[in-house]
Structure 1
Amino acid sequence: MRLSQMLLVTLREDPAEAEIPSHKLLLRAGYMRRIASGVYAYLPLLWRVLQKIARIVREEMDATGAQECLLPQLQPAELWQESGRWDTYTKAEGIMFALHDRQGRDLGLGPTHEEVITAIARDMIRSYRQLPLHLYQMQTKFRDEIRPRFGLMRGREFIMKDGYSFHGDEASLKQTYLEMHRAYSNIFRRCGLDFRAVEADSGAIGGSGSQEFMVLADAGEDEILYTEDGQYAANVEKAVSVPPDALPSPFTTYELRPTPGTDTIEKLCQFLQCSPTQVVKNLLYQVVYDTGMTVLVLVSLRGDQEVNGVKLQNQLTRLAAAYGGNTVLSLTVPDAEAQAKWASQPLPLGYLAPDLADTYIQSVPHLVPQFLRLVDRTVVDLQNFVTGSNQPDYHMVGANWGQQVSMPQRVVDVRKARPGDRAFHDPSQCLQTARGIEVGHIFQLGTKYSQALGATYTNEQGEEIPLVMGCYGLGVSRLAQSAVEQSYDKDGIIWPVAIAPYQAIVTIPNLKDPDQIQAAEQLYTALNQAGIETLLDDRDERPGVKFKDADLLGIPFRIVPGRSLKQGKVEVGQRATHRVEEIPLDQVVMTLQQLIAVATE
């Protein structure tokens, strides 16, 4: 392709809308254009990158025996209502675009396709002889993000590969799950990415276990905790660890002690001259279930620890059935306005105890009149601890469970693991932190969707059994931007050779020099004929502009027929290293073939 014929407009300044380097560079280099918030047009150069990623994905997926299909983007609400996810995805902070057709029927634009694929399996899979079965697709997905940002990282429209497998038992599912782990690892490796597979929270998709694939980058939205020995890695939402040991309590007898102005852990510990590891702090939350029922939650946690919001929401989701629901619609810390709607009297905030009386809750429709009390494992074994007294400006000091305070019955793990914590598998290993961009996620769904939608098969004994399912997602457009976020410099993008839009660019410094034009045309033709995808910068621009654009575009190899042309040589530069060599004209094709082979092996 000749640049003079390509739709290419580069920018010298960063667009105001862009926040992270990859977003800025893709806009500046003319790879994409913003159409609306979270909606982008993929221009010719970026489309070539996406096609290359898609080809690698197809090759690796097809090698596992998975079959490609294409599912509808427009999905009927009835399927999502059968699975119980319609309200989760459309109400409160739901991410599904929902609409009505002219007959008034509810529809959604697919953010994911578990319901659709399960309905197909329900209709078409009858016998164990048809199992296992693995289908996948690549298509545009839609998610109504609350705050679209970072370009293709968190958009409202994006390209995704999603796959779904069906099995007769858990053993078969685990085998496919391991195959997908290997296939995804191969995909990211072939795309030239530095990545890490980590344990992850299954979120609204559900299931018994999942893994995320993270591209390591400083701008990553996700925090990863891992050990140096390579035996443990997890998203911070899922991570577990051994917290630091609690220090011995300095209090040996119980008393109700005045503690004026100590409504934070820091102020309290400074006033009492004690460690936060000997404080039981009590945090108030408000959860709304899909039935409309609101429950007030008291969480007791060690003073030096933080609540992991994802772990807490998962615990509350597991308790949904007790309140007639299936899932959590919202989980918030009730502000003064929210408290005014249900509190019978002002709450002693900053001085709450685990046994805060239920009489603080008014009789209000759709509100459970008792607190749901959860206690984190970090405080179960504390003795002679400090905690609130339910009286402003007073704390209990030297308190003990079963004496001054009753321990809540539900013991849970809701603490947030931190860098520096000890690892469970080896306490000599401490957790370290890195930032990552999620580009893939694989799930062991089990029978969550097959049971909900009645998708069964007949086994060898003639019994009708729910299908066991797996789910495997990969962000194709996100992967493209992640590659840029991981590999760039002050001059622009540095594409991995395997997914670069073109592998080489021939730049003509002086269009008035017929020898340069002849050499450039000769190289352009020879390289393309040899299978090396090559651009020709034949624009009527200054040499400096062309060189800057070549760096900005991130094309891996640049060939310049310049001053050394009189000696029968041209300059061959490598974008990643800025290394430049003078190569005889007749050796350029062979040299690039060798360089590309090394870069993509």
Structure 2
Amino acid sequence: MKLSKMLFKSLRETPSDIELESHKIMIKSSLIHQASSGIYSYLPLAWKSLRKIEQIIREEIDNVGGQELRMPVIQPKSLWDKSGRSISMGQELFNLNDRRQKPFVLAPTHEELLTSIVKEMIYSYKSLPQLIYQMQTKLRDEPRPRGGLLRVREFIMKDAYSFDLNKDGLDESYENLSNAYMNIYDRCGLEVIKIEADSGAIGGKDSHEFVAISDAGEDKIVICNNCNYSANSEKASFSKKQYTIDSKLENQEFPTPGIKTIASLCKFAKVESYQTIKAMFYNSKDELICAVIRGDYEINELKLARAIGDPNIKPASNELLKKHDIPAGSASPLGKSIKVIADDSLLKANNYIAGANKEGYHIKNVNIGEDFTASIIEDISQIPDNAQCSKCNKDLSFKKAIEVGHIFKLGTIYSEKFDANYLDINGKSKTIEMGCYGIGTGRLLAAVIEQNHDKNGPIFPKSISPYDLIISPIKYENKIIKEYSDKIYDLLKSNKFDIVLDDRKESPGVKFSDADLLGFPIRLIISEKLIEQNMIEIKLRNSEESIKIENKKLIDYLKK
């Protein structure tokens, strides 16, 4: 490829509203072009890199038994109604009607459609397990697209789906895909860690994210440097402080005029926050839910939604609170016939102060299991900044990270809804166990650039670089230099190198700057003096130094 013919324009400045380095670099080096908020064209350089990423993914997924197919982006909305995700996905799901007013969606994932396919094609245990995947365009109406390719509304994703006989088979598939993912990231030159994660709208019991540590990330992750526990902060557990459990004391109502917050209650009653109960009220499918937690912690609404089994919980309206006679600032589950979800921190102390459900009054010595009961007691708390590891009690640290992959154990969530069953060896009908596994290729490329760049531009790992190298002749318009450069260019092409020749009439400074901005692993420099010496100068993109070698040794050097 001659650089003068490439769809490439180097920008020295980028718009002031672009914050992330990968976004700046992709704009400056003509990797992407923005069509609208969260919608980009992949220009030839990015597309070459993405194709290499896709090939690495294909090889690794095929290596664990994957079969590639292609499913449509547009799908009947009835499939999503059946799974319930036409509601749970909310406004992120693109909806449209055809000319006959039949409703469709633009799919962000393909669990529904593929489960329907498997239902029609798989009857016997002899046909399982199956691992099916695709590289396909996905669409999601993101409320806040940001960071170039890190959070977009249209993207390419490798989504894979496993179908197994039982939970043991699912565990094996899950582990195989997890290992394949680590191989993919390693081959793409990306450093990642695997962390526990929330399943979100996709569903399932267990899930893990693969994240690249980066200040550009919008995910907050928790890491224990002692035992290597790691999790997304939305999912993370931690060791909750145990306080002395005293003998049960008698309830005592006392006035708390004007007290509306835990902080003001503690100051008024001269107690610590862990000696209080905080009550929050939510609406779940038009049912009032009371979530209670120890006063020194905050409620994690994602954990709460998972505990209830309703991803669409929302704070209770004033009307709903009034209907159940819930007073602001003095509320609790005491004496109320409502569903209660309790954080397990309430089991680590007793004799709490809680709202008396009477304006301006609280009650001392309240205890869970005696003064009120909870239908669910589990971890629904946000992880505080000074938390200790739940595994080893050592301090946890927090880092920002970019999610570059997510895998889920779906279990039978979708197969039950779509009647995806098989006959076992005894002729008994069983439900298929499913998993799903996603990698966004554009986000992966952006994450690689975030981890591999300097002030001059990207430093592409060889495996995903758009081209192997660039030839930067000084004064290409000089006949001798042109003939020699063309000769080297043809020699390298005949040896299967994918190369760019900078044939522009530009100064050495511009050519070298653009070579860095393109980020290819190797730059070959040709000058009249070097030709006289039968030498070529080689500059590696990830090094400040350059070396000179004899022309005849060039091919051997590049192939090693």
TM above 0.5, yes or no, is: yes
Equivalent position of 2:21 in the other structure: 21
Note the alpha carbon deviations across 1:446-491, whole angstroms, 9 max, x for none. 2221111111111111112222222111111111111112222222
Equivalent position of 1:386 in the other structure: 353
Note the alpha carbon deviations across 1:79-120, whole angstroms, 9 max, x for none. 22222222223xxx3322111122221111111111111111
Tell me the distance in 2 between the aligned counterparts of 1:275 and 1:30. 57
1:331 aligns with 2:313: yes
Q: Structure 2: state its 5+ residue gaps.
A: none
1:484 aligns with 2:453: no
Structure 2 residue aligned with 1:300, among 284, 292, 295?
A: 292
Tell me the distance in 2 between the aligned counterparts of 1:493 and 1:48. 15
Equivalent position of 1:321 in the other structure: none
Report deviation, 1:274: 3.5
1:171 aligns with 2:168: yes
* Distance change (3 Å), C-alpha of 1:270 and 1:14: farther
Q: Which moved more, 1:60-69 or 1:462-471?
A: 462-471
* Aligned AA (1:543): P
Report deviation, 1:499: 0.7
Q: Which moved more, 1:187-196 or 1:263-272?
A: 263-272
Tell me the distance in 1 between the aligned counterparts of 2:383 and 2:244. 19
Note the alpha carbon deviations across 1:119-162, whole angstroms, 9 max, x for none. 11111111111111211110111111122222222111100011
> Does the CA contact (< 8 Å) of 1:564 and 1:570 recur in 2?
no
What are the within-5 Å matches in structure 2 for residues 568-579 of structure 1? 568-579=534-545
What are the within-5 Å matches in structure 2 for residues 318-467 of structure 1? 327-328=310-311, 330-334=312-316, 338-340=317-319, 343=322, 348-355=327-334, 371-391=338-358, 394-397=361-364, 399-401=366-368, 405-418=371-384, 420-427=386-393, 429-467=394-432
For the residue of structure 1 that corresponds to 2:91, the secondary structure is coil
For the residue of structure 2 that corresponds to 1:151, the secondary structure is coil
Equivalent position of 1:367 in the other structure: none
Equivalent position of 1:522 in the other structure: 487
Tell me the distance in 2 between the aligned counterparts of 1:121 and 1:402. 47
What are the within-5 Å matches in structure 2 for residues 255-334 of structure 1? 256-257=253-254, 259=256, 262-287=259-284, 289=285, 294-317=286-309, 327-328=310-311, 330-334=312-316
* Aligned AA (1:464): S
Note the alpha carbon deviations across 1:303-343, whole angstroms, 9 max, x for none. 221211211111121xxxxxxxxx44x33335xxx415762
Tell me the distance in 2 between the aligned counterparts of 1:137 and 1:47. 17
Report deviation, 1:203: 1.7
> Does the CA contact (< 8 Å) of 2:288 and 2:320 recur in 1?
no
Report deviation, 1:434: 2.1
Report deviation, 1:217: 1.3
Report deviation, 1:423: 2.6
Q: Which moved more, 1:515-524 or 1:339-348?
A: 339-348
Note the alpha carbon deviations across 1:482-535, whole angstroms, 9 max, x for none. 111222222211222211111211112323434433343233223333333221
* Distance change (3 Å), C-alpha of 1:341 and 1:303: closer
> Does the CA contact (< 8 Å) of 2:242 and 2:348 recur in 1?
no
> Does the CA contact (< 8 Å) of 1:354 and 1:408 recur in 2?
no
* Distance change (3 Å), C-alpha of 1:570 and 1:406: same
Tell me the distance in 1 between the aligned counterparts of 2:227 and 2:58. 29
* Distance change (3 Å), C-alpha of 1:459 and 1:548: same
Equivalent position of 1:144 in the other structure: 141
* Distance change (3 Å), C-alpha of 1:123 and 1:586: same
Q: Which moved more, 1:278-287 or 1:29-38?
A: 278-287
> Does the CA contact (< 8 Å) of 1:419 and 1:430 recur in 2?
no
Structure 1 residue aligned with 2:124, among 108, 127, 139?
A: 127
* Aligned AA (2:195): V
What are the within-5 Å matches in structure 2 for residues 178-193 of structure 1? 178-193=175-190
* Distance change (3 Å), C-alpha of 1:567 and 1:132: same
For the residue of structure 2 that corresponds to 1:10, the secondary structure is coil
Report deviation, 1:390: 3.8
> Does the CA contact (< 8 Å) of 1:199 and 1:212 recur in 2?
yes
> Does the CA contact (< 8 Å) of 2:11 and 2:28 recur in 1?
yes
Equivalent position of 2:240 in the other structure: 243
Q: Which moved more, 1:303-312 or 1:416-425?
A: 416-425
Equivalent position of 2:112 in the other structure: 115
Tell me the distance in 1 between the aligned counterparts of 2:92 and 2:187. 32
* Aligned AA (1:439): V
Q: Give the TM-score, by structure 1 length.
A: 0.86
* Distance change (3 Å), C-alpha of 1:584 and 1:261: farther
> Does the CA contact (< 8 Å) of 1:387 and 1:395 recur in 2?
yes
Tell me the distance in 2 between the aligned counterparts of 1:64 and 1:345. 55
For the residue of structure 1 that corresponds to 2:181, the secondary structure is helix
Aligned length: 558
Tell me the distance in 2 between the aligned counterparts of 1:381 and 1:201. 25
Tell me the distance in 2 between the aligned counterparts of 1:102 and 1:430. 59
> Does the CA contact (< 8 Å) of 1:308 and 1:416 recur in 2?
yes
* Distance change (3 Å), C-alpha of 1:331 and 1:208: closer
Q: Once the two structures are aligned, what percentage of the paired residues are identical?
A: 38
Tell me the distance in 1 between the aligned counterparts of 2:273 and 2:214. 34
Note the alpha carbon deviations across 1:142-186, whole angstroms, 9 max, x for none. 111122222222111100011112222222222111111111110
* Distance change (3 Å), C-alpha of 1:64 and 1:345: closer
Q: Structure 1: state its 5+ residue gaps.
A: 318-326, 359-369, 595-601
Q: Which moved more, 1:169-178 or 1:570-579?
A: 570-579
* Distance change (3 Å), C-alpha of 1:386 and 1:581: farther
Tell me the distance in 1 between the aligned counterparts of 2:9 and 2:233. 40
> Does the CA contact (< 8 Å) of 1:247 and 1:277 recur in 2?
no
Report deviation, 1:593: 2.6
> Does the CA contact (< 8 Å) of 1:15 and 1:28 recur in 2?
no
Tell me the distance in 2 between the aligned counterparts of 1:350 and 1:231. 41
1:73 aligns with 2:73: yes
* Distance change (3 Å), C-alpha of 1:449 and 1:522: same
